[in-house]
Amino acid sequence: MASRSKQLSTSLQWRLMLMLTILVTLIAIIGDLLAYQTAFRETQDLQDSQLEQIAHFLDPRSTILRKDAKENLNFPETASTLPKPRILAQTLDSPYLNTLMGDENAVAKLQQLSDGFHNFVTVSRHWRVYILTREHARIVVAQRTAYRNNIARDSALSVVWPFLFLIPVFWLITAVWIRRLFRATQIMSNEVATRSATDLSPLDFKHTPTEIRPFIFALNRLFSQLQTAIEHDQRFIGHAAHELRTPITALTIQIARFDEPNLSLSEQQKMIQQIKAGIARTEQLLTQLLSMARAQHQQHTPIQQTSTALMPLLRDLVANILPLAEEKHQILSVEIDQELDLPISSRDLYTILKNIIINSIKYTPDGGQISIRKEFSSDQQLTIWIEDNGCGIAVGERMHVFEPFYRILGNNENGSGLGLAIVKTLCKQWHIEIIMTDSTLKNHRSEISGLAVGLVFHI
């Protein structure tokens, strides 16, 4: 019983079948009641018409209207089986009318009635009476009410019974029809269930009902997104393996050189420095890979509303990376003089600003300038600008630098090509718009404009 109740609560097919069955049954019952009442009234009207026609066909001067028909009309009013119909036809001056109706005052009561139909009640019987005046004589045509009702009931039931027998047929047709209707869904689910884990081809929707097609479109769109994500992950893993293979191979070769004979102490120290630098580059690459994986994982989890104070975070960040700028004799300035709360977590904001600023330091020549400033717009937008007077990025390449492992040719800086990809991923998650344009800082050594990276926050 519990399983049947659970099936009804979870299965659309069973719920539809139950609702249609109840609806068909209710409609059939209401239709039977209306048909019964209509047939009952029509039969009564037909019998009234018969009484009226008989009265008009009779001759009031005929002696037969004053004779005793000697019919057995004394059956019980509630009898289920009535004798064959005998319509009582007499004139009001007939000496037998009181006897036939079983009431000594029947004639006196009938004389008080006008011409037409009447429901007449005697001592123990109910009659349907039609009175007609012709040639100065009044004709009474009467029929027992119980018998009339029995005829009308039989006639009405003859109309109702076929519908009652058809209700189970309606149930069966409804069940078969719904089964066939949901067969396309079952076929589709079987096709998806039997697919291999790597088969992400679109589902065919040509022979499916229109109502199911939006669901199939959504599945096909999901398959396409999964296929794109898998291809992206495969490319990412391939690039990561290639990027890791190069420094690891170099470290292996450098370590193997320690086995060479007659290796001087200065050469060993030089090789140790090279190995340390290779390990540092590998560590940086691994850190970037982990940051990229974390940023991509956060895309699939809902973000929590939070805010971060910009200035304390910016002071800590500048203090940590200032030695990198001082090593290249660069000027790193912060032109923000007020406390700002930004709608982003502190860890992600730190990662975004760190990657952008380190890129500016890396690609700005010695003695260059890097500036961090703010800009408010009229529509409640705040833009944090990080700009430099370095070599900049060509307009045609500015969108490609956000792709993982993409690096601009023609520079000798070491890098993994993941920094700006991480920035783009985190900005997309926090609904931050990132823009690139030419820097306003002057480059006195070259005619090439520097780069300005803007982070647009909605506050």
Show the domains of the chain with their CATH numbers. Answer: 20-168 (no CATH), 213-295 (1.10.287.130), 305-458 (3.30.565.10)
Report the pLDDT averaged over residues 63-89.
57
Q: Which amino acid is at 159?
A: V
Backbone φ and ψ for 191, nearest 5 degrees, come out as -65, -45
**Tokens standing for residue 242:** 């290639």
Neighbours of 454 (CB within 10 A): 16
Q: Helix-strand-coil percent breakdown of the chain, rounded to 5?
A: 55, 15, 30
DSSP string, 350-378: HHHHHHHHHHHHHHSPTT-EEEEEEEE-T
Look at 451 and 9; give whichever has higher pLDDT. 451
Look at 267 and 151; give whichever has higher pLDDT. 151
CA 162/CA 173 separation, integer angstroms:
16
pLDDT at 196 (0 to 100): 81
Q: Residue 268 in contact with residue 302, Cβ under 8 Å?
A: no
For 15-47, what is each residue's pLDDT tens digit?
788 888 888 888 888 888 998 999 999 999 999
Unique residue bearing structure tokens 């199911």: 212
Q: How far is CA 449 from the centre of its chain?
A: 51
Question: 88 forms bridges with which residues in the sheet?
Answer: 142
Question: 239 forms bridges with which residues in the sheet?
Answer: none
pLDDT at 312 (0 to 100): 92
CA 244/CA 224 separation, integer angstroms:
30
If you average pLDDT over each of 62-76, 239-253, 355-369, 388-402, which comes out highest?
355-369
Average model confidence (pLDDT) across the chain: 80
If you average pLDDT over each of 175-179, 261-265, 442-446, which comes out highest?
175-179
Instruction: Tell me the CA distances in angstroms from 358 to 23, 185, 420, one per residue in order.
Output: 71, 55, 11
Helices (H), 194-264: 213-256
pLDDT at 76 (0 to 100): 46
- Is the pTM here over 0.75, yes or no? no
Q: E-assigned strands of 389-439?
A: 433-438
Q: Residue 419 in contact with residue 436, Cβ under 8 Å?
A: no
pLDDT at 70 over 80: no
Look at 290 and 276; give whichever has higher pLDDT. 276
* Contacts for 303 with CB less than 8 Å, ≥ 6 apart: 429, 430
Sheet arrangement for strand 126-134: 88-91, 137-144, 126-134, 116-121
Look at 262 and 316; give whichever has higher pLDDT. 316
CA 60/CA 139 separation, integer angstroms:
7
Q: What percent of the chain has pLDDT over 70?
A: 82
CA 185/CA 208 separation, integer angstroms:
8
Instruction: Tell me the CA distances in angstroms from 2 to 8, 9, 14, 23, 146, one per residue in order.
Output: 10, 11, 15, 24, 52
For 418-440, what is each residue's pLDDT tens digit?
778 888 888 888 889 999 998 88
For residue 83, the 8-state DSSP code is P
pLDDT at 84 over 60: no
Confidence at 79, pLDDT banded by 50, 70, 90 = very low
pLDDT at 413 (0 to 100): 59
CA 77/CA 124 separation, integer angstroms:
8
* Contacts for 242 with CB less than 8 Å, ≥ 6 apart: none
Q: Is 106 helix (H, G, I), strand (E, B) or coil?
A: helix
* Contacts for 313 with CB less than 8 Å, ≥ 6 apart: 346, 349, 350, 353
Of the candidates 293, 296, 303, 288, which has an alpha carbon nearest to the alpha carbon of residue 345?
A: 303
Question: 457 forms bridges with which residues in the sheet?
Answer: 382
User: Environment class of residue 218 by beta-carbon count within 10 Å: exposed (0-12), middle (13-18) or buried (19+)?
Assistant: exposed
Q: Residue 457 in contact with residue 437, Cβ under 8 Å?
A: no
Look at 388 and 75; give whichever has higher pLDDT. 388
**Tokens standing for residue 263:** 């290796």
pLDDT at 182 over 80: no
pLDDT at 80 (0 to 100): 43
For 106-153, what is each residue's pLDDT tens digit?
888 998 999 999 999 988 789 999 999 987 888 999 998 988 888 889
pLDDT at 348 over 70: yes
Q: Are strands 369-376 and 331-335 parallel, antiparallel or unpaired?
A: parallel
pLDDT at 273 (0 to 100): 82
